[in-house]
Amino acid sequence: MSNTIPLSFLDLAPVPSGKTIEEGIAQTVEIAQQAEAAGFNRYWMAEHHNMAGIASAATSVLLSHIGSQTERIRIGAGGIMLPNHAPLVVAEQFGTLKALYGDRVDLGLGRAPGTDGATFQALRRQMKDAERFPQDVQELLYLLGDDTDNSPVQAFPGAKSNVPIWILGSSLFGATLAAHLGLPYVFASHFAPQMLAQAINTYREQFRPSKYLDKPYVMLAANLLLADDDETAHYHFTSAQQSFVRLRRGEKGQMPKPTYDMDSIWSPAEKMMVDSALSVSFIGSVETVQPKLAEFIDKYQPDELIVTANVYDQTARLRSLALVPQLNLFTLQAESATA
């Protein structure tokens, strides 16, 4: 199929109910290897804290492990929540990843803390730290760049590594910042799609060419779970739906098992909230998903798509990845695994 685009994978390193963190990480490695076998372009991980069902809190550490267990696929953060960190520390961490894994490394940056207020305080940060996000991004670009020779503070490793930086967002703020700095932009449509069209239009219209990028580059995020039939896919996706309900209720716990009876779990108002938040989701068989996904890609014209499947069942996740090449919508980097 012509006009295909690259496909990448976003992972939260889910820890399924009843499993240990060690088992969750082992499953994450298996997913990364399957994504590589299926020809995915990037494997990104997201920073979250104080969540028993997510094992990617120490994002750069886990990315290093993923890098050692894969060969080709790009590894990166989608993203590092920059208000949680000093730019110098991030530069050193990702400079180290670049030293270990060469040009496979990406660095996506988010402005949200990625956690609750109490945890933010435990990180020794303040909510006002997010206000410095534009300055911190520029400081990080400087620290990773080629011009720090005469600086009293340099990132070792990090300086001259030029690790590619992406701006993540779900509002016009990140879109405008990415455009003005001439950086690639990722919109979090997989859980916050409300401003999708407006944000990417703003980014494309305001984009200024830079030494990093000569034209706009948009990556959109979506939930994607393929199965041999629609019923199976929707059954396993209830894990993600339950997780969203729990998050909004302030409930903690590991990744829940799927259910055939979501109506016994969520209220009508919660169902409406989840359906809205997860509206950019493509769940079902290849035959069901392909035309819907093709319509989405045609409508928004992303340069790349990054998908996630944050569900309980490991077999279902692996099967979904194996089925992806059958969609014929993506430029894959390797021969697919046996589907």
Domains of the chain and CATH, by start: 5-331 (3.20.20.30)
**How far is Cα 325 from Cα 38, in angstroms, rounded to an integer?**
7
Sign of dihedral through CA atoms 170, 172, 176, 182? Answer: positive
For residues 207 and 179, is the Cβ–Cβ distance under 8 A? yes
Q: What is the pLDDT of residues 94-133, one digit of tens each?
A: 999 999 999 999 999 999 765 666 776 777 666 666 789 9
For residues 81 and 114, is the Cβ–Cβ distance under 8 A? yes
Distance of CA 29 to the CA centre of its chain: 16
Q: Name the CA dihedral angle for 237, 48, 55, 316, rounded to a multiple of 10 degrees.
A: 10
The residues near 182 (Cβ < 8 Å, ≥ 6 apart) are 207, 208, 209, 210, 211, 212, 213
pLDDT grade for 49, boundaries at 50, 70 and 90: confident
196-206 helix and 172-181 helix, angle to the nearest 10 degrees: 20
- Mapping DSSP onto H, E and C, the string for 45-85 reads ECCCCCCCCECCCCHHHHHHHHHHCCCCCEEEEEEEEHHHC
CA distances from 297 to 137, 191, 234 (A): 29, 17, 22
For residues 185 and 203, is the Cβ–Cβ distance under 8 A? yes
Q: Mean pLDDT, to the nearest integer, of 199-206? A: 98
The pLDDT assigned to 127 comes to 64
Q: Mean pLDDT, to the nearest integer, of 155-176? A: 97
The pLDDT assigned to 125 comes to 67
Q: What is the pLDDT of residues 224-252, one digit of tens each?
A: 999 999 999 999 999 999 999 998 999 99
Q: Is 250 left (phi over 0), alpha (psi -120 to 50) or beta?
A: left
Q: Mean pLDDT, to the nearest integer, of 262-276? A: 97
Residue 16 DSSP one-character state: B
Q: What is the pLDDT of residues 311-327, one digit of tens each?
A: 999 999 999 999 999 99
Q: What's the number of CA atoms in the CB half-sphere (13 Å) around residue 226?
A: 20
Average pLDDT, the chain: 94
